[in-house]
Structure 1
Amino acid sequence: MMKGVHFLVTLALLALATSLASAYDPSPLQDFCVATNDANSAVFVNGKFCMDPAVVTANDFFFPGLNVAGNTGNKVGFNVTLVDVNKLPGLNTLGISLARLDFAPYGLNPPHTHPRATEILVVVEGTLYVGFVTSNPNKLFTKVLNKGDVFVFPIGLIHFQFNIGQTNALAFAGLSSQNPGVITIANAVFGSTPPINPDVLIKAFQLDKNVVDYLQKQF
């Protein structure tokens, strides 16, 4: 009888441990969420409130216009049209988003990261040189992609796409978050608000102060 009780207790503890082990926090949908006990000063940002299903229409799952090329007339010759939960409400809670990437000849999507998403990219037109860098040790993986080729950039890793052709290039990317976020490395380092202390950047990048001042003015 006692052995039977011990068996049941052990079985219950194992079930509890399995339950706890399979539990996990949801992925964050913003850069930070500071806790507060004051409901009056709280805002709901980790996702969106859900619409009453009775008033939902097909338009809530629809976004037009990805056939229109983005404006690449900028310094890097690149434009991204992102369709996330803010543009397509039906994406809420589904964990996906989509982007159109337009490149002028020799246009660049500069090194950047998506803190909340893995990206899978397919080239529709043109030739792209793409790559990502792993965490320490910083190993670079690169590939030249042509029309119809697919490449994956793992979540959170620095990556880039560069049009190495003399014609425009077009790609589409799927991202594993309704709000993937983007941190463009140069913009974040040299263009933050307020700016990072130049002494930090001088030492980190081993640059002359004049170079750091110049770079901060560019962003």
Structure 2
Amino acid sequence: MKGAHFPTSAAFAILALATFHLVSASDPSPLQDFCVALNYTAKSAYDAVFVNGKFCKDPKRVTADDFFFYGLQNTQNTSNAVGSKVTPANVEQIPGLNTLGISLARIDFAPNGGLNPPHTHPRATEILVVLKGTLYVGFVTSSTENRLITKVLNKGDVFVFPIGLIHFQFNIGKVNAVAISGLSSQNPGLITIADNLFSSNPPINPDVLAKAFQLDNSFVQDLQKKFGHDN
């Protein structure tokens, strides 16, 4: 059977539609070299240009320090409840990252169980490289199967956490562990599951959480107290 033939105009329309969907599948490219963020509120809409949640610094006043951050080389204190410390290098620390769609973070883990608790980045995919130690990492899919994808990582290993999915890193070694995380947003956002649910402001009604987690109401209230709320 001979293949179907489309008029030239129809074929062009189909090609244009397909191209439109392909192009619109990612964020648009910035239309300037950079938009160094200013952390202030303008007096009026005419005081500055507002791009990606930040006001842009006058390009003539931009310096090398706007694109520089000092601090990821320092070992961090992990003597806290979860045994980890995240040092971000995003648009809040590096104003020049605004509109560029990337950021970094250093994660330090205490030996024997240091944990970066289950969390999500609503605006970024994360790629993690282990610099020291051994980490058990994983994420949970968003399908009805809630499939857990896990891997044990050693020095030099790399793992990817897809955008928006709940994920974690856990130090299963006997020494301190260190990892560097790259994120596909200058402001990836952070939702730490337990902390956001049990220390929200104002607190979520314990009846809601008790039913959601199939727990006793009193147990939920104890958790809220532990995370900083007294109902």
Residue type at the aligned position of 1:58: A
Aligned match of 1:187? 195
1:77-125 CA distances to partner (integer Å, 9 max, x unpaired)?
1100000011101111110000000011121000000000011011111
Residue 69 of structure 1: how far off its partner (Å): 1.4
Identity rate of aligned residues, in percent?
A: 67
- 65-74 vs 155-164, which moves further: 65-74
For residues 195 and 181 of structure 1, the distance between their equivalents in structure 2, rounded to whole angstroms, comes to 21
CA distance in 1: counterparts of 2:50 and 2:199, whole angstroms:
28
* Amino acid paired to 1:81: T
- How has the CA–CA distance of structure 1 residues 162 and 18 changed in structure 2, closer, same or farther, with 3 Å as cutoff? closer
2:24 aligns to what?
Answer: 24
User: Structure 2 CA distance, aligned partners of 1:61 and 1:44?
Assistant: 19
For 2:179 and 2:172, how far apart are their aligned partners in 1?
A: 14
The code of the aligned residue for 2:125 comes to: T
Q: Does 1:89 align with 2:95?
A: yes
Aligned-residue RMSD, C-alpha: 2.4
Does 2:66 align with 1:60?
Answer: yes
- Counterpart amino acid of residue 111 in structure 1: P
Partner of 1:173: 181
Q: 1:51 to 1:25 in 2, by over 3 A?
A: farther
Match of 2:215 among 197, 207, 213: 207
Q: Is the partner of 1:161 in helix, strand or coil?
A: strand
Give the match for residue 128 of structure 1: 135
- Tell me which residue corresponds to 1:77: 83
Q: Which among 155, 158, 177 is matched to residue 147 of structure 1?
A: 155
Residues paired across the two proteins, number: 201
> Structure 1 residue runs of 4+, over 6 Å off?
none
Q: Distance in 2 between matches of 1:145 and 1:163?
A: 10
Alpha-carbon deviation of 1:25?
8.0
Q: TM-score, normalised on structure 2?
A: 0.79
Return the offset for 1:73: 1.4
Q: How far is 1:58 from its partner?
A: 1.4
CA contact (8 A) 2:52 2:98 kept: no
Match of 1:116 among 123, 140, 144: 123
Deviations 1:2-44 (A, max 9, x none): xxxxx676477557645653553875xxxxxxxxxxx69xx95
CA distance in 2, matches of 1:26, 1:47: 18
Provide structure 1 residue ranges, at least 5 long, that are not aligned to the other structure. Answer: 1-6, 28-38
Tell me if structure 1 keeps the 8 A contact 2:51–2:99.
no
By how many angstroms is 1:55 displaced?
Answer: 2.2
Change (3 A) 1:45 1:185: farther
Any unmatched runs of 5+ in structure 2? 1-6, 28-44
TM-aligned CA deviation for residue 198 of structure 1: 1.0
- 1:196, CA displacement in angstroms? 1.1
Deviation at 1:70, TM superposition (A): 1.7
- How far did 1:50 drift? 2.7
Cα deviation code 1:135-173 (max 9, x no counterpart): 122000111111111111111000000011121111100
